[in-house]
Chain A
Amino acid sequence: MGFKDYCFRKSLWVFHFGGASCNNCDIEILDCLTPRHDLERFGILLVGSIRHADVLLVNGSINRRDKDRLLELYHQAPKPLLVVAIGACGCTGGIFAEGMTFAGPVDKIIPVDAYIPGCPPKPEAIIAGIVKLAGKK
């Protein structure tokens, strides 16, 4: 068992960063925690501070104002950290990639471990992504 595996072998705590998004991915992430999908049964918990988190979920296109803040959050996070880009905007910039304020996509700013595409991805897709990530190590 490597160091990284050792760090992620128990419950994953998640911090959610919503960039310049349309809210859909944010809502679907919250939806994962509610009774139908209930991610907490896997020990996955949304936490209030990046300093407690194992996983950073990033959704939405990143604009010039978000960019520095995302970097700052990434530097504040304890390592090792898994970064997940959620939704079409998180993965590529999506429909907003041609926008005048676009500064992303996420993987140009910080290293990304997993991509969950979709607009928005269904909660099942988000769960599948996180479970795969946890299993891959």
Chain B
Amino acid sequence: MSRKTLIPIGPYHPLQEEPELFKLYCDGEIVTDIKWETGYNHRGIEKLSESKSYDQVFFLVERICGICSTSHPFAFANAVEEITGVEITDRTKYIRSIIGELERIHSHLLWVGLAGHFLGYNTVFMWAWKYREPVLDLFEMITGNRNSYAMFKVGGVRRDIENSKIPAIRKEMALLRKKIDLLTGAVMDDPVIHARTKGVGILTRQDILDYGAVGPTARASGVDIDVRRDDPYAAYPLVNWKVITAQAGDVFAKAEVRLLEMYESASIIEQCVDVLEKLKEGDVALKINEIPEGIGTGRAEAPRGEVFHFVVSDGSNSPARHKIRAPSYTNIATFKKSCIGQTIADATISLAAVDPCYCCTERMAAAYDNSSGKKILNANELIALSMKRTSELRKSGAGHE
């Protein structure tokens, strides 16, 4: 039996705001293997979705994850609109993009703050979260809530962005650029941050392709993918912006990609509000009487990568099947590459670098018989099996790993 040290992080660790369990197997200071365990956050959303009407599902998918609470409704709207085959109005497209990009800004600022916190740079944490507040204020002005905006519905959005609110958005974007300048300057020029993040947690282009990672994690390793450009939706094909990539693949490159993406988001928002002013107010929702039978897939670029929703409709009031795949599901698998071989101190920032979101990722474990396809073990039986194994190990005196 190996005598490796096991360092558990979680499931309720003060550093993490979500419950998850990492097991770092260490040899001295060096991490030799990593395992993670989720399920503390499982809420059975796909099943719940089948019991709700299409209008209600938006409120449910919004609560998959509080940080990407636009991306999930966005992808779900894209999926259902593919089934119905409607073309949403121009004003709706621009409003959807504005909400999506505001969310990207607040999410990236949140990440920069948390990354600073993980590095022991609490100043960055406080700054970034202070700069995030005005974005939330904009959300409150537009949608009435700081998070969970309840903005989307099939065929449109629930409320309009009145033209009278546009100057406030413009002003805030101008201020935000200055704040990001300051933050980018502080992060990019700091020798300590350079030392802590450069060459740490490197993911090569090949690793990204092997693990199928998406979003800023992939873009920081030179993989040029972005759903907004590759599978255009909403107003993204109608405005000018570029996909930010970096080549190094380390934590610093990921921070760089996210910081620069915020400028692009601000630019998209400014272009969108320019057009919004010229369009007719109030033209934001189509009347959709029924959802026909069919299959729809919807994709959206969340701040963390591609969100994928698959909806089967049987012509009734609620989805017959609703399958969700969130970006963190593929991204967290890259921990196997990025953390192994690092010291324990660097492993934490490597874990945080992909901006993992466990609320999105939760899955339930069950074992199926390969030949008959029958479920042979349910969750409780699996737990009982695991308990039995533990007691056997205790009896045999295996002790600590």
Do these two chains really belong together in a complex?
Answer: yes
A32-72: CB near B (< 8 Å → 1, else 0) gives 00111000000000111100000000001101111001000
A61 to chain B, nearest CB (A): 6
Chain A: which residue is nearest B134 at the CB level?
A: A36
If over half of B's interface residues share one DSSP class (helix, strand or loop), that class is named, otherwise mixed; here it is loop
Q: Which residues of B contact A19 (CB under 8 A)?
A: 19, 40-41
B354 to chain A, nearest CB (A): 16
The residue that A26 contacts in the complex, of B17, B47, B125, with Cβ under 8 A, is B17
* Contact of A120 (CB < 8 Å), options: B11, B12, B59, B66: B66
Q: Which residue of B lies closest to A34 (CB)?
A: B129
Point out the residues of chain B lying under 8 angstroms from A64, CB to CB: 379
- The answer to whether B12 and A18 have CB atoms under 8 Å apart is yes
B12 adjacent to A22 (CB under 8 Å): no
B43, chain A: closest CB distance, angstroms:
5
Asked if B297 is at the interface (CB within 8 A of a chain A CB), the reply is no
Task: Tell me how many residue pairs across A and B have CB atoms closer than 8 Å.
Answer: 119
Most buried by A among B13, B17, B113: B17
Chain A interface size range: 35 or more
The reply to whether A31 and B44 contact each other, CB–CB distance below 8 Å, is: no
| B18 and A35 contacting across the interface, CB-CB below 8 Å | no
What residues of A have a CB within 8 angstroms of the CB of B11 in the complex?
A: 69
Whether B42 and A65, one on each chain, are in contact in the complex, defined by CB atoms closer than 8 angstroms, is: yes
* B66–A96 CB distance below 8 A: no
Q: State whether the Cβ of A28 lies closer than 8 Å to any Cβ in chain B.
A: yes
**Interface hit among A4-12, A99-107, A108-116, A128-136:** A99-107
B359 at the interface (CB under 8 A from A): yes
CB-based contact B130/A22 at 8 Å:
no
What does the 1/0 interface line of B58-71 toward A look like (CB < 8 Å)?
Answer: 01100111110100
Q: Which residues of B contact A101 (CB under 8 A)?
A: 42-44, 364
* Interchain CB contact (< 8 A) of A28 among B14, B44, B147: B147
A18–chain B nearest beta-carbon distance, Å: 6
In whole angstroms, how far apart are the Cα atoms of A20 and B19 in the complex?
8
A23's nearest neighbour on chain B, judged by CB, is: B66
Some 18 contacts from A to B, beta carbons below 8 A apart, are A16-B14, A18-B17, A18-B18, A20-B362, A21-B18, A21-B359, A23-B17, A23-B18, A23-B359, A27-B17, A27-B110, A27-B147, A34-B125, A35-B130, A46-B14, A95-B48, A96-B48, A99-B47
Chain B residues close to A by CB (< 8 Å): 11-14, 17-19, 39-45, 47-48, 51, 59-60, 63-67, 69, 110, 113, 125-126, 129-130, 133, 146-148, 357, 359, 362, 364, 379
A23-B66, A65-B39, A95-B60 are known; give 16 further A-B pairs, CB within 8 A: A18-B17, A21-B18, A21-B66, A23-B17, A24-B63, A24-B147, A31-B129, A36-B130, A36-B133, A48-B14, A63-B41, A65-B40, A73-B12, A99-B48, A100-B47, A120-B66
